[in-house]
């Protein structure tokens, strides 16, 4: 299927005979593959007698060589899939199979993409970025402090470089533009966090998506905000570059050196919020984060810190 898509990705018409010859299959087999592409990937294909077949819009596919060519420095090894359950799940499988870190996992589509707290991450084919970076972490818990917030800063800077100047952070793992979600981060660990472990940093960015009936919250994309289609290979290269720089700084100095920058980027700083943990709710005012990345809330005149993977932050109606 990917071979056929690579032939069609230029957005021009291609005859069934030419496609069959290039693939070494019959025109009937080409027709069946085209039907499968339309049904499985929701990619509309124009069929015109005498001209052949054409994708409704040109397609840019992820390629390891293109990412390396766009990279200013080191390019992490990239495992690229046309369709998998989720990049984080595949990254964890690769770790268990002995894949040496660091490496990234990318997919054109996720069939079971997930966000925090078990939410589904909608993943249309070849439109957005589904990305997981795997690192081996040694030296204990200090190397993990505030790590998801550091990733958020790198994602935000990447979006700024693409003209999405309004992108800012929402504790702990979201990137928003005008209260619309444009990116999310999901970290998962395997191994002993007090000794040696692997951390999977999952990043989902809405890139070229312009419409969706499946997303159950307000959202936007780089293309919506900047008005132009984005080359996702260049995007991966820039995200890699920003992450590499920030992760080196984090490893050398810890999260505290990012604290002020992160607070300046926090869109809900000083806002009245509700912190949800299961059936429990804490109402307060956001005062910032501490040196480990925990949220600082003023609750009934007393400042308290909160951290944990299952916490959700919402604006209060009176804020």
Q: Which residues are catalytic?
A: 116, 181, 314
Closest to 233 in 3D by CA, of 58, 75, 66, 6: 66
Domain count, the chain: 3
Q: What is the CATH number of the domain that holds 12?
A: 1.10.10.10
What pLDDT is recorded for position 121? 61
What pLDDT is recorded for position 44? 85
- Judge if 13 and 99 occupy the same domain: no
Provide the 10 A C-beta neighbour count for residue 294.
20
What pLDDT is recorded for position 212? 63
What pLDDT is recorded for position 120? 60
Last residue of a domain, one of 30, 55, 80: 55
Q: What is the CATH number of the domain that holds 291?
A: 2.30.30.100
Closest to 232 in 3D by CA, of 90, 54, 104, 40: 104
What pLDDT is recorded for position 278? 81
Last residue of a domain, one of 221, 244, 263: 263
- Judge if 189 and 247 occupy the same domain: yes
What pLDDT is recorded for position 308? 74
- CA-to-CA distance for 279 and 249, rounded, in angstroms? 38
Which residues, in sequence order, are CB contacts of 6 under 8 Å at separation 6+?
A: 61
Last residue of a domain, one of 263, 287, 305: 263
Number of residues written out for the chain: 319
- Judge if 46 and 147 occupy the same domain: no
Phi, psi torsion values for 75, nearest 5 degrees: -110, 115
- Judge if 168 and 255 occupy the same domain: yes
The verdict on whether residue 304 carries a ligand-binding annotation is no
Which residues, in sequence order, are CB contacts of 131 under 8 Å at separation 6+?
A: 87, 104, 105, 106, 202, 203, 204, 205, 236, 239
Instruction: Please give the residue that has the higher pLDDT: either 26 or 215.
Output: 26
The string of pLDDT tens digits covering residues 60-70 is 899 999 999 99
Give the confidence band of 100 by pLDDT, cuts at 50, 70, 90.
very high
Burial class (CB in 10 A: 0-12, 13-18, 19+), 182: buried
Residue 201 corresponds to which tokens in the numbers above? 């940093």
Q: CB–CB of 37/4 below 8 Å?
A: yes
Report the run of H or E that residue 303 belongs to, with start and end. Answer: strand 302-306
The string of pLDDT tens digits covering residues 116-160 is 545 566 778 889 999 999 999 987 778 889 999 999 999 999 999
- Judge if 16 and 91 occupy the same domain: no
Answer whether residue 88 shows pLDDT above 70. Answer: yes
Which residues, in sequence order, are CB contacts of 227 under 8 Å at separation 6+?
A: none
Give the confidence band of 76 by pLDDT, cuts at 50, 70, 90.
very high
Provide the 10 A C-beta neighbour count for residue 306.
19
Answer whether residue 50 shows pLDDT above 90. Answer: no
The verdict on whether residue 86 carries a ligand-binding annotation is yes
What pLDDT is recorded for position 192? 87
Q: Residue 178, Cα to own-chain centre: how many angstroms?
A: 19
- CA-to-CA distance for 292 and 171, rounded, in angstroms? 13
What pLDDT is recorded for position 234? 96
The verdict on whether residue 178 carries a ligand-binding annotation is no
230 is in which domain, residue-wise?
64-263
- Judge if 73 and 47 occupy the same domain: no
- Judge if 21 and 76 occupy the same domain: no
The string of pLDDT tens digits covering residues 162-207 is 999 999 999 999 999 999 999 999 999 998 888 889 999 999 999 9
Percentage of the residues of the chain whose pLDDT score is greater than 90: 65
- CA-to-CA distance for 250 and 59, rounded, in angstroms? 37
- Judge if 212 and 303 occupy the same domain: no
Instruction: Please give the residue that has the higher pLDDT: either 279 or 12.
Output: 12
The verdict on whether residue 87 carries a ligand-binding annotation is yes
Q: What is the CATH number of the domain that holds 191?
A: 3.30.930.10
- Judge if 124 and 232 occupy the same domain: yes
Give the confidence band of 42 by pLDDT, cuts at 50, 70, 90.
confident
First to last CA, the chain: 51
Residue 92 corresponds to which tokens in the numbers above? 């964890």
CA atoms in the 13 A half-sphere facing the CB of 150: 25
The verdict on whether residue 179 carries a ligand-binding annotation is no
The verdict on whether residue 116 carries a ligand-binding annotation is yes
Answer whether residue 228 shows pLDDT above 50. Answer: yes
What pLDDT is recorded for position 128? 94
- Judge if 247 and 133 occupy the same domain: yes
- Judge if 153 and 100 occupy the same domain: yes
- Judge if 285 and 165 occupy the same domain: no
Average pLDDT over residues 235-263: 96
Average pLDDT over residues 7-19: 89
What pLDDT is recorded for position 247? 95
Strands 280-289 and 302-306: unpaired
Provide the 10 A C-beta neighbour count for residue 195.
11
- CA-to-CA distance for 5 and 56, rounded, in angstroms? 12
What pLDDT is recorded for position 39? 83
Mean pLDDT, the chain, rounded, equals 90
């Amino acid at each position: 299927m990917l071979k056929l898509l690579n032939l069609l990705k230029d957005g021009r018409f291609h005859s069934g005979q030419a496609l069959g010859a290039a693939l070494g299959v019959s025109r009937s087999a080409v027709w069946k593959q085209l039907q499968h592409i339309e049904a499985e990937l929701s990619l509309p294909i124009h069929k015109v007698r005498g001209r052949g077949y054409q994708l409704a819009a040109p397609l840019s596919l992820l390629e390891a060589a293109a990412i390396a060519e766009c990279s200013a420095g080191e390019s992490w090894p990239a495992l690229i899939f046309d369709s998998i359950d989720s990049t984080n799940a595949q990254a964890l499988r690769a770790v268990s199979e002995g894949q040496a870190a660091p490496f990234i996992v990318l997919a054109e589509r996720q069939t079971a993409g997930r966000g925090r707290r078990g939410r589904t991450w909608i993943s249309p084919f070849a439109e957005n970025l589904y990305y997981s970076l795997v690192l081996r972490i040694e030296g204990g818990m200090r190397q993990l402090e505030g790590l998801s917030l550091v990733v958020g800063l790198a994602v935000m800077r990447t979006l700024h470089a693409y003209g999405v100047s309004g992108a800012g952070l929402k504790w702990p793992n979201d990137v928003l533009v005008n209260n619309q979600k444009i990116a999310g981060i999901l970290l998962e660990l395997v191994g002993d966090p007090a000794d040696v472990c692997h951390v999977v940093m999952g990043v989902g960015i809405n890139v070229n998506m312009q419409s969706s009936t499946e997303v159950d919250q307000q959202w936007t994309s780089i293309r919506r905000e900047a008005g132009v289609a984005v080359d996702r290979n260049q995007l991966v290269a820039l995200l890699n570059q920003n992450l590499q720089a920030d992760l080196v700084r984090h490893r050398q100095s810890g999260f505290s050196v990012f604290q002020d920058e992160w607070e300046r980027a926090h869109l809900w700083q000083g806002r009245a919020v509700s912190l949800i943990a299961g059936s429990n709710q804490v109402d307060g005012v956001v005062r910032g984060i501490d040196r480990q990345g925990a949220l600082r809330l003023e609750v009934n005149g007393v400042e308290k810190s909160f951290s944990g993977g299952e916490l959700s932050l919402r604006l209060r109606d009176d804020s």
